[in-house]
Amino acid sequence: MIQPRSSLRVTFYAILIGVAPAFAQDVTPEHEASAPRPVSTAIQAKPITANVTVTDAQLLSAAQDQDDWRLHGRTYDNQRFSPLSQINGANVKKLVPVSIIQTGVANSFEATPIVVNGVMYIVTPSDHVQAYDAVSGEILWVYNPILKYSDLCCGPEARGVAVAYGKVFVAQLDGVVIALDARTGSLVWKSDPAIAPPTDTVHYSFTGAPQVYDGMVLVGSSGAEYPTRGFVVALDASTGKLIWQFHTTAAPGEPGGDTWSGDSWKTGGGSVWNTPAVDPKNGLISFGVGNPNPDIVGDDRLGNNAYTDSILTLHVKDGTLAWWYKEVAHDLWDYDAAGPVILLDAKDAGGKMVPAAAEAGKEGQLFIVNRLTGTLLHKSPSFVLESANKWTAPSSTPGEPHYPSASGGGEWSPPAFSPLTRAIYVMGSNVAWSYASQRINPQRPPVGMWIGGDMHPLLDGKAAHTIEPSGTLSAINVDTGKIGWQYHSDFPMVGGVLATAGDLVFAGEMNGNFDAFAAKSGAKLWHFNLGSGVNAPPITYRVKGVQYVAVAAGGNGANSNDELLAMRGHPQSGDVVAIFALAGDH
């Protein structure tokens, strides 16, 4: 069912973002030295009159606010659960689009929008930041960056912004964090790589949405496909200056420092692909850490390689270590803990409810641990397919395909938790990959990307012992770790999930479908096709008493997903943010 054309607003403003290229090199060529260099620009289309100055008190009380989506995971615990129930299982079939925003940047679109007092803030691929009316989709302002050069393993992904203190915070692909005025989009400050990491911005990048807490901007680095040492930093939200830094590979003398051989910890990787969860009561932040470097050969990094492939928890005030839980020891398969950590309460083995943290890794299982100690409470069965050689180390020649794989399991996709069903809803990806390892030659050290050999997806499903690419959405009980129901898609499921008090779970598919499921049974109740892959997390919010659901649709190009889409005759990318409401409510 489609709403009449007269009530469906379509916004398109590619001209506004055409003023500047996405990237500019650090050094201007000599023959062009006299030419003016392009600069980042902010263009205001319409004044923002709403109060968009979000305070610490408002962030701490986000769970009680039914109107806004103030934080990346809606609340500091990253649960992505909304108490809104105006849209529910009985009426979701009446859901129709009321605005289709076309951003003008067609690429892998993975962002979570932030909504504050009727204003929606989004970031597109390559870090264009845009503000819209969250109902009409009318453009309010746009910020077009000029990014310095940075090596990117997996495309120009940007997973979101943070909004607080009258500013919009963006962690950019070039390793720089910026703060924009939330009303105008004008630049307030930019972090200085000379005094705030990363000092080497070529091999490092930021792709995850930053977190804001108690006057700090928290963000983790990407770049573990290069010889780097990952980190999380806290920057002063007023100035961008460094407050503290924690490295995600353990050095000698630190806890876990004996799990790296030689000096391998210095370039041991450990990307942080997603947004930390915050436990204000206990003063903790928790996040997943990705693969070690080099990725698929481990002879020169013997040991378990702390803190890679782990749930890592720090004291938020000073960035000191609280604990870590290792999901994969000595990873040789790119089994990152790439998704966000969710904080909740769960039952231990004795049935006692305890503070818990959960993360769904690329290894294919949901890990639930005690939030205060890191002790394992539950580990789910695999929510994706597993090959018999899953834990077989790659050799110098390609062997039988592995799955889960580098694009398998939970990927970076944020799950959602419903306290009403006691289930975490997790996306899964089934894609077989071929692996072949290669030792480092000490006389010819690697330059640029180094994953320790070759690994690539097998997308046609015709090779021996391989599988057709597909996906799952699983409801996993947090008190038992058992899978309650599972939906199967013909494409890998990548993007993110939303759960609501309306007994609904929203999720997208790579074929362009945006779906609503019954939270208890998994029955698909509604879908709407947006043309390109819905590979971003949905959100819901309320304006003037009306509940809306919004999601980005632009596909997902990492790990050859764009190639898979092309093979099956689907568009490889798009640039849409769609806003839905019940017919007759808008």
pLDDT (tens digit per residue) in 317-369 = 999 999 999 999 999 999 999 999 999 999 999 999 999 999 999 999 999 99
Which of the 8 DSSP states describes residue 351? S
Question: Residue 445, Cβ neighbours under 10 Å: how many?
Answer: 10
**H helix or E strand, kind and range, residue 566:** helix 561-567
Kindly report the number of other CB atoms within 10 A of residue 253's CB atom: 7
- The verdict on residue 208 lying in a domain is no
Residue 173, C-beta contacts closer than 8 angstroms, at least 6 positions apart: 126, 127, 147, 150, 152, 156, 158, 205, 206, 207
Determine if the peptide bond prior to 29 is cis (ω within 30°): no
Does the structure show a pLDDT above 70 at 211?
Answer: yes
| Closest by CA position to 327, among listed 295, 358, 283 | 358
Radius of gyration of the chain (CA): 22
pLDDT mean over 16-22 = 43
Kindly state the helix (H) or strand (E) to which residue 51 belongs, with its residue range. Answer: none
554 found inside a domain: yes
Identify the active-site residue in 334, 503, 515, 575: 334
| DSSP codes joined into one string, 368-416 | EEETTT--EEEEPPPSS---TTTTPPP-SS--S-BSS-TT-BTTT---E
Query: Over pLDDT 90: what percentage of the chain?
Result: 81
Give the pLDDT score at 248. Answer: 98
| Contact indicator for 109, 17 with CB cutoff of 8 Å | no
Whole-Å CA distances, 269 to 386, 408, 450: 26, 19, 11
Give me the pLDDT at residue 559, please: 78
**DSSP character at residue 113:** P
Contact 547, 88 (CB under 8 A): no
In a domain, 553, yes or no: yes
The label of the residue with tokens 């040492």 reads 229
Comparing CA positions, the residue from 227, 294, 567 lying closest to residue 438 is: 294
Model pLDDT, residue 352: 96
Q: Which helix (H) or strand (E) holds 15?
A: helix 14-17
pLDDT given for residue 446 in this prediction: 64
Q: What is the pLDDT of residues 42-99, one digit of tens each?
A: 999 999 999 999 999 999 999 999 999 999 999 999 999 999 999 999 999 999 999 9
Q: What is residue 447's predicted lDDT score, i.e. its pLDDT?
A: 63
Note the pLDDT tens digit of each residue in 405-450.
999 899 999 999 999 999 999 999 999 999 999 877 666 666 667 8
Q: What are phi and psi of 425, to 5 degrees?
A: -100, 115
Residue 367 neighbours by CB under 8 Å, 6+ apart: 311, 325, 327, 358, 359, 360, 361, 376, 378, 379
Q: How confident is the model at residue 528 (pLDDT cuts 50, 70, 90)?
A: very high
Check whether 170 has a pLDDT greater than 80: yes
Q: How far is CA 88 from the centre of its chain?
A: 27
Confidence band of 40 (pLDDT split at 50, 70, 90): confident
Indicate if the pLDDT at residue 9 is higher than 70. Answer: no
- Nearest to 428, CA basis, from 502, 507, 544, 505: 507
- Say what the pTM is: 0.94
Q: Helix, strand, or coil here: 558?
A: helix
- CA-CA distance, 500 to 519, in Å (whole number)? 8
Q: Across-strand partners of 430? A: 470
Helices (H) and strands (E) in the chain, counts: 3, 37
Q: Which residue has the tokens 């702390």?
A: 306
CB atoms within 10 A of CB 125: 23
Dihedral sign of CA atoms 230, 232, 237, 238 in order: negative
Secondary structure element (H or E) that encloses residue 555, with its range? none
pLDDT for 462 beyond 90: no
Q: Cα(323)–Cα(374) distance, rounded to whole angstroms?
A: 6
Q: What is the pLDDT of residues 20-34, one digit of tens each?
A: 334 443 333 333 444
Q: CA 145, CA 554: separation in Å to the nearest integer?
A: 20
For residue 586, tell me if it sits in a domain.
yes
Q: In this model, does residue 277 exceed pLDDT 80? A: yes
Mean pLDDT, rounded, for 216-223: 96
- Contacts of residue 36, defined as CB under 8 A and 6 or more positions apart, other chains included, come to none
At 383-396, the pLDDT tens digits run: 999 999 999 999 98
The answer to the question of residue 558 being in a domain is: yes
- Domain coverage including residue 571: 497-517+525-586
Structure tokens at 47: 């004044």
Model confidence pLDDT, tens digit, residues 100-152: 999 999 999 999 999 999 999 999 999 999 999 999 999 999 999 999 988 88
Retrieve residue 343's tokens.
Answer: 């904080």
- Specify the pairing of strand 497-500 against strand 81-82: parallel
pLDDT computed for residue 538 by the predictor: 98
Residue 400 lies in a domain: no
Mean of pLDDT over the chain: 92
pLDDT at 35 over 60: no
- Residue with the bigger pLDDT between 122 and 16: it is 122
What pLDDT score does 463 carry? 79
At 12 the pLDDT is 46
In the chain, the number of structural domains is 1
pLDDT for position 471? 97
Residue 401 amino acid letter: P
Report the distance separating Cα 535 and Cα 495, nearest Å.
4
In a domain, 214, yes or no: no
Q: 368 CB contacts (<8 Å, ≥6 apart)?
A: 346, 356, 357, 358, 376, 377, 378, 379, 380, 478, 481
Q: Is the pLDDT of residue 220 over 50?
A: yes
What are the C-alpha distances in Å from 412 to residues 289, 474, 501, 549? 11, 15, 25, 21
Who's near 276: CB < 8 A, 6+ residues apart? 211, 218, 220, 232, 285, 286, 287, 340, 341
Residue range 478-512, pLDDT digits in tens: 999 999 999 999 999 999 999 999 999 999 999 99
- Residue 300 corresponds to which tokens in the numbers above? 């020169």
Q: For 526-562, what is the HEC assignment? A: EEEECCCCCCCCCEEEEECCEEEEEEEECCCCHHHHH
Confirm whether 172 is domain-assigned.
no
| Inter-CA distances, 485 with 318, 379, 384, 406, 475, Å | 41, 16, 13, 25, 5
In DSSP terms, 574 is beta-bridged to 107
Q: Inform me whether the pLDDT recorded for 579 exceeds 50.
A: yes
Specify the pLDDT at position 150: 86
Residue 200: what pLDDT?
A: 81
Told to judge if 334 belongs to the known catalytic residues of this protein, a careful annotator would answer: yes
Taking alpha carbons only, the member of 260, 278, 251, 374 closest to residue 323 is: 374
